[in-house]
Amino acid sequence: MEPRFVDIHSHVVPSGDDGVQAVSEGLALGHDAFEHGTRLLYATPHVSPALPLTDDRERRIREAFAKLRGLAPLELRLGFELTPMPSLLAEDPWRYVLEQTNHVLVEIPFLGSADLFIDVGEWIEHAGLTPIVAHPERTDAVLTNPALADELAERGWLLQVNASSLLGRHTPEMEREGWRLIDDGLAALIASDGHRATRPMLLDGAYELTRARVGEEQALRLFDGSALGLAAPTATGQPAESATR
């Protein structure tokens, strides 16, 4: 049986960020992901100092998401990808939860200190949620201090490696660190972080590399949403069961 991928990180919904710019573009990429084995895909628009989630922006995102969900061949769910910023600490992190889970996706800044990231992760924890650390292998804080990733995993925070890192589409250092997180059993999830046609929402290539490296059983756990208690929709189209607030 072919694996059914769960992709918890993508920019498939137009939101004003650097992902897709139109529903039609997202639909084409969603079809491509479906044809390559993805059955459950999360749209995770950026929320950052440059792109706060104002009421108007959230309304537009949700309208575009509803249009895309009604057309896409796979199951779509909504979440957000947070860039650490002090203003978040005055909000309710449940606003940003990955739909039908108890998890929030947050990235370590690509450059500089991880101190504010730790504060935001603890803010998520204090609300009874679990942080998912987006692509730690691509951040200066982890590349200069790999022990940081180990410490985050020891906290119970879920490390999400990008498929593109494993495929060597960034730097050799990022590729090596991505594989180290997998080899050492620190990574919990592999996701596409797909943005556009030149960086699509595809997982199958990284899955084949991972399966060859660590075996089918471990590879499946990294690609099927097991870490979140998710499973891709069944052949009958029934959606995955998962936790809710």
Note whether 47 and 198 are within 8 A (CB): no
Please report the pLDDT score of residue 3 as a whole number: 73
Q: Where do the domains of the chain lie, and which CATH numbers do they carry? A: 5-228 (3.20.20.140)
The answer to whether residue 205 scores a pLDDT higher than 70 is: yes
Please report the pLDDT score of residue 241 as a whole number: 46
The answer to whether residue 244 scores a pLDDT higher than 50 is: no
What confidence tier does 232 reach under pLDDT thresholds 50, 70, 90?
A: low
The answer to whether residue 243 scores a pLDDT higher than 60 is: no
Name the E strands within the chain.
5-7, 38-43, 46-47, 75-78, 81-82, 103-107, 130-134, 158-162, 187-191
CA-CA-CA-CA torsion sign (167, 172, 177, 182): positive
Taking the C-alpha atoms of residue 109 and residue 58, their distance in angstroms, rounded to an integer, is 23
What confidence tier does 148 reach under pLDDT thresholds 50, 70, 90?
A: very high
Please report the pLDDT score of residue 230 as a whole number: 87
Note whether 110 and 140 are within 8 A (CB): yes
As a residue count, the chain comes to 245
pLDDT tens-digit map of 12-31: 999 999 999 999 999 999 99
Percent of the chain with pLDDT over 70: 93
What lies within 8 Å, CB to CB, of 89 at 6+ separation is 119, 120, 123
Please report the pLDDT score of residue 61 as a whole number: 98
Taking the C-alpha atoms of residue 46 and residue 80, their distance in angstroms, rounded to an integer, is 6
Taking the C-alpha atoms of residue 233 and residue 241, their distance in angstroms, rounded to an integer, is 9
Span 143-160, average pLDDT: 98
Q: Which residue has the higher pLDDT, 65 or 232?
A: 65
Span 199-220, average pLDDT: 97
Please report the pLDDT score of residue 231 as a whole number: 65
Please report the pLDDT score of residue 134 as a whole number: 98
Q: Which amino acid is at 161?
A: V
The answer to whether residue 218 scores a pLDDT higher than 90 is: yes
How much is the mean pLDDT over the chain? Answer: 94
Taking the C-alpha atoms of residue 53 and residue 134, their distance in angstroms, rounded to an integer, is 19
Span 115-140, average pLDDT: 98
pTM of the model: 0.93
Q: Which residue has the higher pLDDT, 198 or 245?
A: 198
Q: Are strands 158-162 and 75-78 parallel, antiparallel or unpaired?
A: unpaired
The answer to whether residue 235 scores a pLDDT higher than 70 is: no
Q: What is the largest CA-CA distance in the chain?
A: 47
